[in-house]
Amino acid sequence: MADPKVSTYVEANATRFLDELKALTAIPSVSALSEHRADVHRAAEFLVSQLRTQVGLPKAELIETNGHPLVYGESTQEAGKPTVLIYGHYDVQPVDPVELWDTPPFEPTVKGDNLYVRGAVDDKGPMFATIKALETLMQHGGLPVNIKVLIEGEEEMGGEAIAEYVMKHPDRLQADCALVLDTGMVAQGIPTMSYGLRGIVYFEIVANGAGRDLHSGVYGGIAPNPIQALAWLLADLKGRDGHINVPGLYEMMQPLSEDERDQLTQLSTEVGQRLMDAGGLQELPGEANYSIAERATARPTFEVHGIRGGFTAEGAKTVIPATATAKVSLRLVPDQKPAEVMRLVEQQIQKLTAPGITFEVQGIHNGDAIVLSPDSPAFKAAAAALEDEFGKPVTLLREGGSIPIVALFDSVLKLPVVMMGFSLPDDNVHAPNEKFYIPNYYAAIRSVAGFLQRIDQ
């Protein structure tokens, strides 16, 4: 049963907990934009101060890196007790298109049961809930286990700082399991744990033509056009059938078990409907012969994020541009190693060049896919805590998104990882009007406390 001391403390401090989350989310810690560098730092300082003064970890520290700082704190005096590594990220996505926000993106605004602000649910709300869970337990006889808290400020930009830190300090981060609150719930009221994340390679393709802009009357019909060449390339790389035309890509992937495919197929209609509703879609086109749930989580993807080039201002200008650029990513599934995938993709791009065109490929970031075992004691403790909180059995979810460091917790630190989800399908993650359903904030605090109390048993 839920610990009444925990529930009472959360209830008694609900307003302050929300105010503190508002203070954190009011800091525009957009990791991708250099003009927010000082804000990102300020968010890290806020968390260090929380760990020191509210949780009572006097040695909590801000760790400078080549990029944005890490926040670290630990409490390890419980000899013989397990150690939980708690992860989260305090950086947020950019806010554009800002005109589509109903309230300013960094003015935390409560409407009904929701807190609207960039970072509300990805990931400041759930991440901060882990800190409030620690505070709550500290107020009631101390932490039942040892903890190490590691919070990064580069998750949304694919930064390397945390990976470097994990590689360099595996001893310091030694633990018995890792806890991550940065994933979703299938629906409000349905406790959800994720057992998989996709990997990613993100890169830019630059198409170069003449080296300078040309008059399309003089050169039209004879000069290479980089935008056209880029369009051909992108169409060749993924056809209308949704198949990715990169030889070797599908051969690398770990095949899905028949069991898991069946599970995904069973979920598919429901998952599809939910994604259509939340995304405002009438169709879900993609690879034939794969269910929607499988395509959304267990198949590799190829998506174009942006194209730049030529003349896009008001009016008309008859120009053949010198260059064009596309930002592209592939989501990956287990055994599709990012470096190997990049090699195959680059090879294929060079094969698909057009006369007079050169393609340059520049990697931006990458991360490994992971599928976790739901059998670890940590997984079971988390499921029990969530079931207690929501009064329903846990639903297991394979996520289509990526959290690159999770694969390293598994491969480098050898930790069983548990992911408890608290974001809802309509929380507008990465989009205008991002929100956190406030009852899920308190549910997350109680669930994390319940998990830490159970992991020892």
Report the C-alpha gap between 36 and 370 in whole angstroms. 31
Query: Of the candidates 123, 294, 368, 389, which one interacts with Mn ion according to CB under 5 A?
Result: 123
Minimum distance of ligand BES from residue 399's CB (angstroms) = 4
CB of 237 or CB of 370, closer to Mn ion: 370
Q: Which two tokens stand for residue 448?
A: 């994390």
Minimum distance of ligand BES from residue 12's CB (angstroms) = 30
- 184: phi then psi, degrees, rounded to nearest 5: -110, 170
Write the CB contacts of 415 (distance below 8 Å, at least 6 apart in sequence).
85, 175, 176, 177, 178, 409
Minimum distance of Mn ion from residue 100's CB (angstroms) = 18
Report the C-alpha gap between 424 and 278 in whole angstroms. 10
Which of ligand BES, Mn ion, none does residue 401 bind (CB under 5 to 8 Å by kind)? Answer: ligand BES
Report the C-alpha gap between 188 and 182 in whole angstroms. 16
Catalytic residues: 91, 155
Query: Of the candidates 20, 39, 122, 389, which one interacts with ligand BES according to CB under 6 A?
Result: 122
Query: Of the candidates 31, 291, 402, 440, which one interacts with ligand BES according to CB under 6 A?
Result: 402
On whether the CB atoms of residues 43 and 142 are closer than 8 A, the answer is: no
Question: Nearest to ligand BES by Cβ — which residue?
Answer: 401
Which of ligand BES, Mn ion, none does residue 294 bind (CB under 5 to 8 Å by kind)? Answer: none
Minimum distance of ligand BES from residue 430's CB (angstroms) = 6
**Distance linking the first and last C-alpha atoms of the chain:** 13
DSSP string, 384-447: HHHHHHHSSPPEEEE-SS--HHHHHHHHTT---EEEEEEE-TTS-TTSTT-EEEHHHHHHHHHH
Which of ligand BES, Mn ion, none does residue 367 bind (CB under 5 to 8 Å by kind)? Answer: ligand BES
Does 200 bind ligand BES (CB under 6 A)? Our answer is yes
CB of 108 or CB of 199, closer to ligand BES: 199
Report the C-alpha gap between 389 and 420 in whole angstroms. 12
Query: Of the candidates 22, 140, 243, 365, which one interacts with ligand BES according to CB under 6 A?
Result: 365
Which residue's structure tokens are 């069991």?
259
**Encoded amino acid at 189, one letter:** G
Which of Mn ion, ligand BES, none does residue 356 bind (CB under 5 to 8 Å by kind)? Answer: none
For CA atoms 172, 66, 335, 302, the dihedral sign is positive
- 176: phi then psi, degrees, rounded to nearest 5: -105, -20
- 273: phi then psi, degrees, rounded to nearest 5: -60, -45
Which residue's structure tokens are 């059998």?
375
CB of 122 or CB of 368, closer to Mn ion: 122
- The secondary structure element, H or E, covering residue 324 is strand 323-332
Stretch that binds Mn ion, among 116-124, 277-285, 341-349, 406-414 (CB under 5 A): 116-124
Positions in 178-237 near Mn ion (CB under 5 A): 182
Query: Of the candidates 399, 410, 427, 434, which one interacts with ligand BES according to CB under 6 A?
Result: 399
Query: Of the candidates 184, 199, 300, 338, which one interacts with ligand BES according to CB under 6 A?
Result: 184
Which of ligand BES, Mn ion, none does residue 70 bind (CB under 5 to 8 Å by kind)? Answer: none
Does 427 bind Mn ion (CB under 5 A)? Our answer is no
Stretch that binds ligand BES, among 78-86, 212-220, 221-229, 394-402 (CB under 6 A): 394-402
Which positions lie near ligand BES, rule CB under 6 A? 122-123, 155-156, 158, 182-184, 200, 365, 367, 399, 401-404
Which positions lie near Mn ion, rule CB under 5 A? 122-123, 182
